[in-house]
Amino acid sequence: MNALIISAILGVVMMFSGILLKQKTAVRNVAIGGIIILLLANILEMGGTVFFTIDSRGMIAFDQFALLFNTIVFVSTLLYLLLSAKEIEKVGVNYADYFALIFFILCGITLVSSFKSLLILFLGIEIISIPLYILTGSDKRNLKSNEASLKYFLLGVFSTGLMLMGIALVYGARGTFITVPDPLVTAAPNTLLITGMSLLLFSMAFKVSAAPFHFWTPDVYDGAPTVFTSFMATIVKAAVFIAFIRLFDDAFEGLQPQWRLWIAVITAITLFVGNITAVFQQSVKRMLAYSSIAQAGFMLLSLYAMNTEAKEGLLIYAAAYCLATIGIFAVLAKMNDYTFDGFNGLARREPLIAATLTILLLSLAGIPLTAGFLAKFYMLKATIATPNSLWLVIFAVLMAAVSVYYYFRVIQAMYFKEGNDATTGFSPFFKWTMVLMASLVILLGLFPDLLLNWLYF
């Protein structure tokens, strides 16, 4: 509850900070201070200190799982702001508004990570989506940004419509919005419920950009300003995944035979489309867009398996994926050339940046010693424990091997090719934040318990 209320307040504060504070640095510092407060308040709540007690009538439940996920989100956002706050200011004149929108998105994330009612889910998804439409189109003079925003908006509201329809049908079948209904009054699976569930499944698949609902992703990610692509592709995506797994764990657990095959097929298609298409990209930004689809495919495995390990694994996956992708995007935002060739010879000019970037890329590829390996490891372990899923596991690891191809292209460009100066320069602070991220990735890859122990406080 702490994070929910404080993030909403901070959003308002940030809106006015643009008027009250004249200096860019001041606004940035307020934002960074705000996220630190948010993080601390959330950690306090994990320890049992709750500032606000509001009776939500069972519609929201801040359990350890939700709180731990919020912590991951806030830490990632903090690192994101530390690395990219300056880039946000460069996007447009209303820079304070962008910070405000980010805090509103965080507010939505705290809702979707803890909902117990379909209404709250809808509310949370909308609070996340609407600021994102704005952020996507924030580069007003750029035609691509405008196009991306419109595309995102149209498809987004369409899927929101599907979601509302699904919620309505589920309500019709169950007579309640609460996701964990009383088993006594729960109706047997009927057409109404299954249809509602399918609609919810499709709309959520759209939000996490799972194939075949992914067509918006590359264009939107490519068109949006790179700083906001970074936020969208990492923190927001992970949050929607948490909502996805909570929804299907709570509300539709009994219907597992009905949806498991759907999820398996969607997973396989997502892995295939994401990885194979990423191979052919020439722009690193677009490659990362497809890579985010591919990584979503791996995260979907947790939904498919839906056991304890899958849920723990999703948290590790969220952390690993967010850390690595935020770092890569932060460096990308500073490059003048977004193609693979733009990275040529980076290791010679910026050895520290190249080394940290390599660790992050290895993590995305799932090489041991990094958090990314452990994340994939948990997913595979969870999936292999479910019967008749060997084909999916083998397919997933083969696709992971494909992903090595495009991640390593960046490493090859940095280390083994010669190139000209194409960066705007990195400040020492930026470099050390990157080192911090890389060490977090390795630390998490060696000792996942550092994170997971928080679940069992």
276 forms part of the interface with other proteins (CB under 8 A)? no
455 forms part of the interface with other proteins (CB under 8 A)? no
Q: List the structure tokens of 234.
A: 């990492």
CB of 171 or CB of 408, closer to other proteins: 408
Judged by CB under 8 A, the residue of 51, 280, 405, 457 near other proteins is 405
**Candidate ranges 35-43, 169-177, 326-334, 391-399; the one touching other proteins (CB under 8 A):** 391-399
Distance of CA 301 to the CA centre of its chain: 16
What is residue 423's three-state secondary structure?
A: strand
349 forms part of the interface with other proteins (CB under 8 A)? no
451 forms part of the interface with other proteins (CB under 8 A)? no
Shortest separation between residue 280's beta carbon and other proteins, angstroms: 16
CB of 37 or CB of 384, closer to other proteins: 384
What is residue 183's three-state secondary structure?
A: coil
CB 237 within 8 A of CB 208: yes
Shortest separation between residue 404's beta carbon and other proteins, angstroms: 6
CA atoms within 13 A on the CB side of 114: 25
CB 250 within 8 A of CB 200: no
CB of 180 or CB of 369, closer to other proteins: 369
What is residue 60's three-state secondary structure?
A: strand
283: which DSSP letter? B
Q: Where are the alpha helices (DSSP H) in 236-345?
A: 237-250, 256-279, 284-305, 308-334
What are the backbone dihedrals phi and psi of residue 178, each rounded to the nearest 5 degrees, phi first? -65, 135
Shortest separation between residue 342's beta carbon and other proteins, angstroms: 17
CB of 225 or CB of 313, closer to other proteins: 313
What are the backbone dihedrals phi and psi of residue 38, each rounded to the nearest 5 degrees, phi first? -60, -45
Judged by CB under 8 A, the residue of 32, 397, 435, 436 near other proteins is 397
Within residues 100-129, the interface with other proteins by CB under 8 A covers: none
394 forms part of the interface with other proteins (CB under 8 A)? yes
CB 145 within 8 A of CB 224: yes
Cα–Cα dist 229/224, whole Å: 6
319 forms part of the interface with other proteins (CB under 8 A)? no
Shortest separation between residue 74's beta carbon and other proteins, angstroms: 25
93: which DSSP letter? S
Shortest separation between residue 385's beta carbon and other proteins, angstroms: 5
Cα–Cα dist 150/189, whole Å: 38
CB of 35 or CB of 357, closer to other proteins: 357
Number of residues that bind other proteins (CB under 8 A): 28
Cα–Cα dist 259/253, whole Å: 9
Closest CA to 378 of 434, 447, 299: 299
**Candidate ranges 40-48, 132-140, 415-423, 430-438; the one touching other proteins (CB under 8 A):** 415-423
Shortest separation between residue 211's beta carbon and other proteins, angstroms: 22
352 forms part of the interface with other proteins (CB under 8 A)? no
79 forms part of the interface with other proteins (CB under 8 A)? no
What is residue 208's three-state secondary structure?
A: coil
Q: Work out the angle at residue 228's Cα, subtended by the Cα atoms of residues 441 and 248, and round it to the nearest 5 degrees.
A: 70
Judged by CB under 8 A, the residue of 26, 368, 420, 427 near other proteins is 368
Judged by CB under 8 A, the residue of 380, 410, 437, 440 near other proteins is 380
Shortest separation between residue 392's beta carbon and other proteins, angstroms: 11
**Candidate ranges 25-33, 79-87, 255-263, 385-393; the one touching other proteins (CB under 8 A):** 385-393
384 forms part of the interface with other proteins (CB under 8 A)? yes
Judged by CB under 8 A, the residue of 16, 51, 158, 416 near other proteins is 416
CB of 59 or CB of 411, closer to other proteins: 411
Cα–Cα dist 154/157, whole Å: 6
415 forms part of the interface with other proteins (CB under 8 A)? yes
| Neighbouring residues of 280: CB distance < 8 A, sequence distance ≥ 6 | none
Cα–Cα dist 135/4, whole Å: 21
> By the criterion CB under 8 A, which residues form the site for other proteins?
362, 367-369, 373, 377, 380-381, 384-385, 390, 393-394, 397-398, 400-401, 404-405, 408, 412, 415-417, 447-449, 452
